[in-house]
A and B are shown apart, each in its own frame.
Chain A
Amino acid sequence: MIKVVNLSKKFGKLHVLKGINEEIKKGEVVVVIGPSGSGKSTFLRCLNLLEEPTSGEIIFDGVSITDKKNDINKQREKMGMVFQQFNLFPHLTVLENITIAPIKVKKMKKEEAEKIAMNLLKRIGLEDKANTYPNKLSGGQKQRIAIVRALAMSPEVMLFDEPTSALDPEMVGEVLEVMKDLAKDGMTMVVVTHEMGFAKEVGDRVLFMDGGNIVEQGTPKELFTNPQHPRTQDFLRKILV
């Protein structure tokens, strides 16, 4: 579904991604782990071109999105993204947050968009918050709504950029639950996270990144119980203690 060919990204002199080759298949849940500064967030943000790659190619649904001839906005409609800092729109209500993109981008009728939004809100148990403004919500609620906002565009793939890192510990669970449900429904997901429990339970494949490369990858079982590369071993030893 997403094919990454020799992806490289430099910020000035800093070489963040050093030629990544990867393919994400339909229905797969790929979890990306690694120490901070390893390039895992940059990798994710390159997938929908929030970061412009310095070189290399990204092919989504057979369309090269790095090719300037192709309209990136059309492709982004099919790629949902969830951010560490939620990035809900503070001047819009929860319902408007969810419906604005379907209405403005997909030209969906307001009633239809609202119906979809209410169904999604019901799914996460927040339908009573539809007319609330984001600043009245807890972090966990905000992030669940951010997920729903992305889902309202019916994306083919969901990208998660450390979705639980800015949350209070007691709110991590509710967000992970929503993500697990999504995975169960067969959503293709790429998740950058520090939640090893989630990686083990939900991930089909785990990528370990370090120094701008994918150092090692495998099923959660292979990677967590029998890491091959010394840097993977070192990283897992530090976090799992």
Chain B
Amino acid sequence: MDIFTNFAEFITKYYSYYINGTLTTLQISFFGVIFGSLVGVLLCLLRMSNNKIISSISTAYIEIVRGTPLILQVYVVYYGLPMVLPLPDSRLFLGTLAVLLNSAAYVAEIIRAGIQSIDVGQMEAARSLGMTKGMSMRYIIIPQAFKNILPALGNEFIVLVKESAIISVIAIPDLMYNADTLRGITYKPFMPLIIAGVIYFAITFTLSKVLGMLERRLAASDKGSES
């Protein structure tokens, strides 16, 4: 069959584009998820702070990130930030920074919603037993909130893997960028892109299954779901 010989020929010739692109995409996603979550937790803490100024700065940041296109944010971080901050002149770094700064806003909101879904009576009961606010959070609120947060957080990670494709606009050779390059080289509209699509799907599907397993394990160890 012609299509298979075409495919085999295509892959043997260009496979390195896909391998390098996938590695780049995985690298951006990995750092995006890790640092995006850390910054997200920080943003969430700031937003829930009793200090009005700190809390409104965090709220403003979250609203702006959620209310503007990611592609615009990527351009702002890539072209704009190095002019005002001493950032390393690295595409990959700036691209990852843009993605993680975006993800952090969503993570912050997911965590806040999870924490606020816990009945205020839980905090009151903990405080009435002499626990400090921090202890109450750590031993009573967070363990309960975590279970509510996990599915939404997993979803956000999957979105991040897919959305990281946007940084191809600043010519970072990720999976998307390389697939598009191959489309240009070969004049073939389908094959280069569909192969990239299959790889993206394989990554997100695996991630989704792993997170699903984690959720089920958590549900199994937690027999108490209501008070």
Contacts and interface: CB of A to CB of B under 8 A. Distances in A.
B219 to A, nearest CB: 12
Interface stretch (B100-108, B139-147, B201-209): B139-147
Contact of B130 (A91, A93, A105): A105
B224 A153 contact: no
Interface stretch (B65-73, B77-85, B119-127, B155-163): B119-127
Interface residues of B, number: 24
A104 B137 CA distance: 13
Contacts of A85: 119, 121, 227
Interface in A116-174: 133-136, 142, 146, 149-150, 153
B129 A149 contact: yes
A198 interface: no
Contacts, number: 88
Given A87-B227, A90-B227, A133-B223, A73 B125 contact: no
B34 interface: no
Nearest to A89: B140
Contacts of A65: none
Interface residues of A, number: 33
Nearest to A82: B128
A153 B130 contact: yes
A101 B131 contact: yes
Given A83-B124, A85-B121, A104-B139, A91 B224 contact: yes
A104 B132 CA distance: 10
A83 B124 CA distance: 9
Nearest to B133: A73
Nearest to B224: A133
A105 B129 CA distance: 8
B5 interface: no
B226 A90 contact: yes
B89 interface: no
B2 interface: no
A83 B86 CA distance: 55
A101 B130 contact: yes
B116 interface: no
Contact of B128 (A48, A86, A135, A136): A48
A79, A85, A104: most-surrounded residue (chain B CB, <10 A):
A104
Contacts of A77: 129-130
Given A90-B227, A133-B224, A150 B143 contact: no
Given A104-B135, A104-B139, A89 B227 contact: yes
19 contacts: A50-B128, A73-B131, A73-B132, A76-B129, A80-B129, A81-B125, A83-B124, A83-B125, A86-B227, A87-B121, A89-B122, A91-B147, A92-B224, A100-B139, A104-B139, A105-B135, A133-B223, A134-B224, A146-B125
Given A91-B147, A104-B139, A105-B129, 14 more contacts: A76-B128, A81-B128, A85-B119, A86-B227, A87-B119, A87-B122, A89-B227, A90-B224, A91-B224, A104-B135, A135-B225, A135-B226, A136-B223, A136-B224
